[in-house]
A and B are shown apart, each in its own frame.
Chain A
Amino acid sequence: MLAAKDITKLLADIPKGAWVALSKNEDKVIAFAAELQEALQKAKEAGENDPVVVRVPEADGTSLIV
């Protein structure tokens, strides 16, 4: 419960910088687009009204400092 899944493989073939709409249980990609609103619209058209949105990192490398 509450834990987030590793979605690295799901995002592997999606262009860098794209916004991605995942299924509610985060096990498949519903839609992706350059803009968040477009990804949400595509997901809605695919029947997913409440996707989990994430973004494919633009930067190479794996370290995250926030």
Chain B
Amino acid sequence: MASYRVPYAELQASATPAFPVGRVVRRPVLSLSLQNGAKRLSCRAIVDSGADHCVFPRSFLQPLGLDPLATPVDMSSGVGSSNVPMHFANVTLDLQGVLEFSIYAGFTPGLEQLGLGLLGQAGFFERFKITFDYSHKLYILETI
């Protein structure tokens, strides 16, 4: 079993009416690559226990050589949206050359505005025991 202690990504957020002096936002963000055969796309994704699957923006389909008309679709819901089509395909997830495994990933227009992925229960949490230690600014991924 391998263990990885990963610092939260810390983002310096500017001031808003709700946070008049700005703030530091901590997110469990990983940089990773998706592969489909010889096609590869590198991006960022949030480790998200609330996501059923690993999910990415729909526009990632094309650079990965995946045809949206040839991929099965499920409908998805999230905060502020419902009945959003999600295309599914098998791809390889490469965690910076440290770990590599196959996932059945969803691709949805619901993530276009964010431009990043979500690493969810099926495909990611099923492979790791994950401990979030916000007060110590890190999380721990232990392979199962």
Contact = CB atoms under 8 A, between A and B. Distances in A.
Nearest to A9: B12
A37 B75 CA distance: 25
Interface string A4-18: 111010000000010
B46 interface: yes
A40 B10 CA distance: 26
Nearest to B45: A4
Contact of B7 (A3, A8, A51, A65): A3
Contacts of B44: 4, 52, 54
Given A62-B19, A62-B23, A6 B10 contact: yes
A66 B4 contact: no
Nearest to A62: B13
B-side binding surface: helix, strand, loop or mixed?
strand
A36 interface: yes
Q: How large is the interface on B (under 10, 10 to 19, 20 to 34, 35 or more residues)?
A: 35 or more
B42 A50 contact: yes
B9 A6 contact: yes
Contact of A57 (B6, B30, B63, B113): B113
A50 to B, nearest CB: 6
B79 A65 contact: yes
The 8 closest A-B pairs by CB, nearest first: A55-B115, A62-B13, A4-B29, A4-B9, A3-B7, A52-B42, A36-B59, A2-B6
Interface of A: 1-6, 8, 17, 19, 24, 26, 35-37, 40, 50-66
13 contacts: A1-B98, A2-B95, A3-B8, A4-B29, A4-B44, A6-B12, A50-B42, A52-B31, A52-B42, A55-B57, A57-B114, A62-B13, A62-B16
